[in-house]
Structure 1
Amino acid sequence: MVMDVLIVGAGPTGLALGIDLARRGVDALVAERAEGLFPGSRGKGLQPRTQEVFDDLGVLEAIRAASGPYPNRMIWKDGRRLGAQSMFDTVEADEGAPYTDPLMIPQWRTQEILCARLAELGGKVAFGHEVTGLEQDAEGVTVRFADGGSARAAYVVAADGGRSVVRRAVGVGMTGESVDPAPFLVADVQVTGLDRDHWHAFPKDDGTAVGLCPLPCTDHFQLQARLAEGTRPDPYLSLDGIRELVAAYTHLAPEAVTELRWASDFRPRAALADRFRAGRVLLAGDAAHVHSPAGGQGLNTSVQDAYNLGWKLGAVLRAGAPDSVLDTYEEERRANAAAMLDLSTGVHRGEVRRGQATVQLGLGYRESSLSAETRKNPSQVRAGDRAPDGTVHGIRLFDAFRGPHWTLLGAETTVPGVRTLPAAPESYGPGVFLIRPDGYVGWAGDSADGVGAYLSGVGA
């Protein structure tokens, strides 16, 4: 097998990257060790910025149809309801940020939707292909599979999780720390005797707890448990073990748990790969950063890794951009991942509230070498910032941005692959704005002078 890009791992990261490359005409294959898609709900929260990404990738409508809002948390004590509380501080929507509420959708359903979109675009997933090693040279990477087969690609993207085989094969280490000494358990279960309007929490005075959260558009709940330090979680990964937990922490009888669909245990840890690029191998998602699930940051950061990397791989492989453009992937995404790890740890420890801090709309790349702010008096929207939504001459900006192209606001250009609109919304402030394919302002100027030079440097 020979291809432009081999993506290792068919999780949300790998599938989102596959979609972005497919729409750019890049020959890519997603190789997945398992025989099918991940079956659990683990990463169930989609932040507003990820919803914007999914809008661009053509899956938001399907995602919204299969998701729902986060319910209020209902606290229980000794079989009595103590009251409900909101999970998030309110973030007000406006024209520039139409999505401000996180959506809840089980990870398995997100992956089904992404996989269907990938197939619609002609992309492929090779299940049952476990990577065991690789060698790279000046021209590409040869990847070996457990069945004795191999593949050759110009670039390889490691999207194979926190225990990434690819990351280890290229000798990239991870630096991190434990977030919580207690073992945790997560499972998808069917439960009777609880309403589906609340995320039910059953804390104990010793800091241990069980939570049961209804998963939208399913008949399942996600169970989360923080066990006592020193407890072995293995015995609780069975139906009988889950029933024992539920009976011990809630007012429900063991038989109220009627089905166990999936279960897993973990210990919250925050760790960051020492590098996101090693030659022709790039790390994305959990292969590059692992974290506490608190605050719903991990899957979202991972999808945005893919979104950042997709257009850059497309530029190098299809538009003649220099290979050095790929260095900006690590430059931009590693800094964001480091900030995300601190945020997730803060949410886990109760130091940070969910809300403005977690919706990811304020993340950007002002310090990136790709961000060129050339105006004498920059306005509130600057090079490196997320490009807000808005309307220009009756055209919604997010509709104009959708697709694998660049967008120029406020001037005309004859550069191929760039869509132009005659003005920018007042909310942007004065100037001309060049929007990258991933929805960030790449260049901003007082006039269009300099647009061509900037674009030639990134292969557009």
Structure 2
Amino acid sequence: MELNNVKGTRVLIIGAGPAGLTLAIDLARRGVAARIVERGERLFPGSRGKGLQPRTQEVFDDLGVMDAVRAAGGPYPPMMGWEEGRRLGEFEIIVRNEPTPGAPYHDIWMLPQWRTAEILYARLRELGGEVEFGVACTGLTQDADGVTARLTYADGSAENIRATYAVAADGGRSAVRKALGIGMAGESVDPIPRLVADIQLTGLDRDHWHVWQKAKGGSLSLCPLAGTGLFQAMAQYDDVDAVPDLDPEAVRRLIVERTHLTESEVGEVLWASPFRVRAAMAERFREGRVFLVGDAAHTHSPAGGQGLNTSIQDAYNLGWKLGAVLRGGADAALLDTYEEERMPVAAGVLGISTRIHRAGMLGNAQEPRRTAEVHQLGLTYHGAALAVDLRGTATKSALRPGDRAPDAPCTLPDGTPFRLFDAFRGPHVTVLALGGAEPPAPGRASVVAYRVGGPAPDLLDPDGHLRAGYGDRGVFVIRPDGYVGCAADHADRMTGYLTGLGA
């Protein structure tokens, strides 16, 4: 069959979950022609990953969807324990935090996965992109110049298409990963079978996440899904050999049997899925011109709310690098840093999820509490090839290349309020020059530079928040994904670094 390079496809994205949609958005705003295909006939319908961590909220701020995310979701409620129809009392598993100048998004935000996908899809369409539903990737080969993918359509027809790169965002059972022969090493975290479902309920307040820890047959929780009229049911089975029954009537009956709710108070089951908790990571995140993102690369326990967030940040890390190579003229070696940076992060996050899950298996529903370690604001790329410190030791601040670049409230020279996140927002590289240091000479179209203070400032730091985060003097390169890439005393030392980013 003749090869078809539809609309000049440079990147084929396989899978339209949050990771695939995030990547498609990032490529669209960079002017990279991408095609995103999804085996299913519609977006994923369930609430499975319902928590957006602060770092993911920063990503969504940059991608232009945070206003919609805030409007559609809400904060997590406190827990309410139940036993034999009696309230045992309210408790918290989340340590609440206040915003800081450097971290305006400070707590986990609840939004069911299906709604997150809808918002991302709407943003993609605003940028001129589209998802092709009912299209499966049924074959993939590659050579030195590109990838040939076999796409099979719902009507049984098929075609071969050509792309420069392909990205597998097709979930934990990734057909692409298997076709590439990439193994998935991991372990069973908990042998207990579980069921998750979205359901309509009455008879419970929506101000609490309700938990029946000692219910007959296994624990049950009912969490009101912010921004909807639904609850997410999460049931575990004491019998390790149990097979969760997904029939809507069976799910309704399970809730009636394990709670004090009556049949008339348990309404329609909109979606249900079984699972067992496993932690696993792909042996590598790249095979030639094909990359793995999201669940195709790593699967987590839902404890701690790390899986969906790590998936989105995989795509965010890869998107700007593909853009730099395909549009910015960067050397293709830049793409090697995707696996170098994201594999250690995924391994660390898997460890957090597994530790939290196993601590919860001890039977105390109130422990362990979710602290700032799950927010993903402290994840770094220290020691990686793109984390370059060219400063003299005497001028080094606490902020290091490889760290997330903190926000800071500033003002424009005319006094207009302006945050650093306003400066970072967009597909460009940002350079901050502090304490009289000069930014790079103009002429790099994809670099936006700011002088902070000094005789001809672009930004003022009246309350010292920027200096508190970045130090008194120096030049900082902020990557398009909001990480500090390079720090130097003088901009002329970072010319080669900027060139390497395709800037």
- Equivalents in 2 of 1:303, 1:19: separation in Å? 11
The more displaced of 126-135 and 305-314 is 126-135
* 1:319 maps onto 2:342 in alignment: no
Please say if residues 74 and 85 of structure 1, whose CA atoms lie closer than 8 Å, have aligned partners that are also in contact.
yes
Partner of 1:385: 403
Tell me, yes or no, if structure 1 residue 405 matches structure 2 residue 446: no
User: Is residue 390 of structure 2 the alignment partner of residue 374 of structure 1?
Assistant: yes
Aligned to 2:467: 426
Q: Measure how far apart 1:353 and its partner are.
A: 2.9
The amino acid of 2:467's aligned partner reads E
CA distance in 1, matches of 2:224, 2:213: 18
In structure 2, how many angstroms separate the alpha carbons of the residues matched to 1:339 and 1:205? 33
Residues 1:433 and 1:230: Cα distance change in structure 2 (over 3 Å): same
Offset at residue 170 of structure 1 (A): 0.9
CA distance in 1: counterparts of 2:236 and 2:123, whole angstroms: 36
What does 1:108-127 correspond to in 2, within 5 Å?
108-127=114-133
- Per the alignment, residue 436 of structure 1 pairs with 479
- AA aligned to 2:449 is T
**Aligned match for 2:86, one of 80, 92, 101:** 80
- 1:402 partner amino acid: R
Q: Where do 4+ consecutive residues of structure 1 move more than 6 Å?
A: none
2:415 is matched with none
Q: 1:298 aligns with which of 282, 307, 319?
A: 307
Aligned counterpart, 2:63: 57
Corresponding position: 1:165 with 2:186? no
- Residue pair 2:170, 2:296 contacting (<8 A) in 1 also: yes
Alpha-carbon distance in structure 2 between the residues aligned to 1:176 and 1:206: 31
After superposition, the C-alpha distances for 1:213-266 in whole angstroms (9 at most, x for unaligned) are 00112111000011123343342x122111221122111123321100000000
Distance 1:33 1:213 in 2: 30
Distance of 2:202 and 2:306 partners within structure 1? 30
Q: 1:128 — aligned with what?
A: 134
Provide the rounded CA distance (Å) in 1 between the counterparts of 2:94 and 2:217: 22
The one-letter code matched in structure 1 to 2:450 is L
CA distance in 1, matches of 2:140, 2:483: 34
Identify which range, 373-382 or 317-326, moves more after superposition.
373-382
Q: Mind listing any 5+ residue stretches in structure 1 that lack a counterpart?
A: none
Residues 351-406 of structure 1 deviation map (CA, whole Å, 9 limit, x = unaligned): 75312110111111112110001112321111010000013443311001000000
Question: Which residue matches 2:44?
Answer: 38
SS at match of 1:422: strand
Tell which deviates more after alignment, 312-321 or 138-147.
Answer: 138-147
1:9 aligns with 2:21: no
Aligned mates of 2:15, 2:93 — CA distance in 1: 31
Q: Distance in 2 between matches of 1:309 and 1:404?
A: 13
Query: In 2, are the aligned partners of 1:133 and 1:165 still within 8 Å (CA)?
Result: no
Which residue is equivalent to 2:193? 183
For residues 285-325 of structure 1, give each alpha carbon's deviation from its aligned partner in whole angstroms, at most 9, with x where no partner exists: 00000010111100000000000000000011011111111
SS in 2 for 1:321: coil
Cα deviation for residue 457 of structure 1 reads 1.7
Give me the whole-angstrom Cα distance separating, in 1, the residues matched to 2:216 and 2:341: 41
Counterpart of 1:88 in structure 2: which amino acid?
I
Quote how far apart the aligned CAs of 1:205 are.
7.2
Give the structure-2-normalised TM-score.
0.89
- Count the aligned residue pairs: 459
**201-210 or 110-119, which moves further after superposition?**
201-210
The answer to whether the 8 Å contact 1:76/1:202 transfers is yes
**What's the offset of the Cα at 1:207?**
8.8
Q: Which residue of 1 aligns with 2:496?
A: 453
Which AA in structure 1 matches 2:77?
P
Work out whether 1:218 is the aligned partner of 2:228.
yes
Bigger shift: residues 34-43 or 140-149: 140-149
Identity of aligned residues (%): 58
Q: State the SS of the aligned residue for 1:152.
A: strand
SS in 2 for 1:369: coil
Report the secondary structure of 2:163's partner residue: strand
Contact conserved, 1:443 with 1:454, CA < 8 A, in 2?
yes
Residue 373 of structure 2 corresponds to which residue in structure 1?
357
Residue 491 of structure 2 aligns to a residue whose secondary structure is: coil
- Indicate conservation of the 8 Å contact 1:30/1:126, yes or no: yes
Q: Give me the whole-angstrom Cα distance separating, in 2, the residues matched to 1:157 and 1:279.
A: 11
Which residue is equivalent to 1:155? 165
| Cα distance in structure 2, aligned partners of 1:206 and 1:409 | 59
Query: Which residues of structure 2 form unaligned runs of 5+?
Result: 361-367, 413-417, 453-460
Superposition TM-score, scaled by structure 1 size: 0.97
| Equivalent residue letter for 2:372 | Q
